[in-house]
Every structure is written in structure tokens, then in C-alpha cells.
Amino acid sequence: MTDQAYNFAYLDEQTKRMIRRAILKGIAVPGYQVPFASREMPMPYGWGTGGVQVTAACLVPEDLLKVIDQGADDTTNAVSIRKFFQRTAGVATTEATAEATVIQTRHRIPEVPLTEGQILVYQVPIPEPLRFLEPRETETRKMHELEEYGLMHVKLYEDIARHGEIATSYAYPVKVEGRYVMDPSPIPKFDNPKLGQSPAIQLFGAGREQRIYALPPYSDVVSLDFDDHPFQASKAPHDCDLCGAKDSYLDEVITDDAGGRMFVCSDTDFCAGRRAEGHVGRLGEPV
């Protein structure tokens, strides 16, 4: 049921046009953070207001929408955002990654490779990759303008000196098209390799920080590293206990108070699909 009291996808057309302009600019300058006049949304900042505004600006009535949080379709916030668009836009929804035309995500990139024509919308808390090195926005914008990324390399180097490796496990910074250093949102660095050369459009919305940025299809995206300490995607050294997948990102679930653990795919659609195909993990049961 569409809520008639609100415009299609909640935002008024003027606002959507303003957001679309920011998105287009973001696509034209990959990795550059475009300021936009973020609106108050009926969910709190931090719940994905940036992603919701970008999704609202992209949606057309024919779209098939998928919403995930932590890779899962049934986490409470994913349910809440999906319901929001069902109510305000009346669009059809799906859990199948391959079917969806627009996917809004928090903290994950789906395991199933995306295809041309799909849009992946990320919810972004802190869009500025340099923020924790330099708290001032006026300074970090200047650093991007001047392509002054030395501070970031010093930080990565210090990590190696101290820990023997780069001690960043999620929201791992990348360089886009050889120009802008970009925060890929808090996805685990396991997902970083999926950012580059993706056939899908990737849009990033940060509502509270009023920024939108984008990766057009087939962009060059390089995770920052050093020649002698190359970037490594990492995950728990286990297979999924439900579907047996060896190459998917896993959530750790505590099963008892005696140190019992199980590992399951964080991407619920991927895991369910594999089980339907007959794959069975260590603790799984045939479907």
C-alpha cells in the first residue's frame, strides 16, 4: 500500500532533483565527496538517512528493491527501510541479489557478482577517509584538493611498524581512478576487491555529513597498500556451517557458554541459495 499523503518515495520532486544532481556530479568525478542539502528523514541519522535519500532519488515505480544490513535481508533495520519504501513508493521488493535493480546496503557487498543496470546504494556514517587523521573538514577538503595523501600513507606505515600489518579491518581506504582517496563505508576489507571494475553503479550516501559520492561502472579502485605489504582481503578461516561455502564472508555466532562457535554466511540470500542447491555445511541439514 502506498501512503498517499507523501510523494512517491517520500521526498518531494525538487529534493529528488537536487539529490540526482549531486549523484550525477559524483559519477562524473569518481570518489569525490559532493556536498548535498541532506534532509531530515523519518528515521534517525545513523540509521541510513543518506542511503535512503539516494535510494529515494533513484527509485522508479518499476524497480525491484533489495535492502540488506550486515549482508542480511531480515535484520531489523533492513526490514524497517524495506517497509519504508514499500509504504511510500509501493515498489516491489526481493531478497534475490540477482533480481534486484536497486540494492541498499549497510556494511556489506553481496557475494553474488552484480551486473550492469544494477545500482548498489551504500549507507555511509563518516564519508571522509582522512577524518580520523584530521578532524577538520576545512583541512581534509584542502587535502583532497591538493591530492595530499601523505598523512594516510604515514598512518598505514606506522601500522606496519607497530603490528607487522595494516591494522584496518573494515572501512579500508581505497584510491579511485588514481585520484581521490575514498572511504568505501564500513564494509569488511574482504569486500574491497568487489568495488573495482564492477558492472553496477555504486552510490554512497552520508546523510548527517551531507555528502554523496559514487563509483561509475568499471571504475579503477585500488585498496591502499605498499609493494612489500600488499593488500590482503581477509575472512574467518572457516567454511560456512550451514551451506559449506568456502569463499563467503562469515558471521561468528556464539552457540553456548563453553566456547562453542559456529560460522555462517553473513549474506543470507547467498547462503539460502546454496542450501536450496543442495550444499550442506558442517551443522546444516539438507533442505
Partner 1 sequence: MYVAVKGGERAIDNAHAWLAEERRGDPAVPELTIAQIRGQMTLAVNRVMAEGSLYDPDLAALAIKQARGDLIEAIFLIRAYRTTLPRLAGSNPVDTGAMTVDRRISATFKDLPGGQVLGSTFDYTHRLLDFALMAEGSEVPSGASAPATPGPMPHVTSFLNRDGLIETAPPSDTTPPDLTREPLELPADRSLRLQAITRGDEGFILSMAYSTQRGYGRTHAFVGELRIGTVAVEVDIPELGFAVEIGEVELTECETVNQFKGSRTEPPQFTRGYGLVFGQSERKSIAMSLVDRSLRWKELGEDFTGAPAQDEEFVLYHCDNIQATGFLEHIKLPHYVDFQAELELVRRLRAEAQAMQEAAE
CA-to-CA dists, residue 233 to 58, 193, 230, 236, 268, angstroms: 31, 8, 10, 11, 20
Please say whether the beta carbons of 248 and 111 come within 8 A.
yes
Question: Which residue in 31, 58, 117, 150 is the catalytic one?
Answer: 31
User: Of 32, 122, 149, 190, which lies in the binding site for partner 1, with binding defined by CB under 8 A?
Assistant: 190
Which amino acid is it at 195? Answer: L
Please say whether the beta carbons of 66 and 94 come within 8 A.
yes
User: Catalytic site residue 58?
Assistant: no
Cell numbers at 37, concatenated: 542539502
The nearest distance, CB 145 to partner 1, in angstroms, is 14
The count of C-alpha atoms lying within 13 angstroms of the C-alpha of 256, restricted to the half-sphere facing its C-beta, is: 3
User: In the range 222-251, which residues lie near partner 1 by CB under 8 A?
Assistant: 234-236, 241-242, 249-251
Binding flags for partner 1, 8-47, as an x/- string (CB under 8 A): --x-x----------------------xxxxxxxx-xxxx
Task: List phi, psi (to 5°) of 268.
Answer: -70, -35
> Residue 71 interacts with partner 1 (CB under 8 A)?
yes
Binding region for partner 1 (CB under 8 A): 6, 10, 12, 35-42, 44-47, 49, 69-71, 74-80, 83, 106-108, 125, 136-138, 163-165, 167, 169-171, 186-190, 208, 210, 234-236, 241-242, 249-253, 255, 262, 264, 266, 268, 283, 285
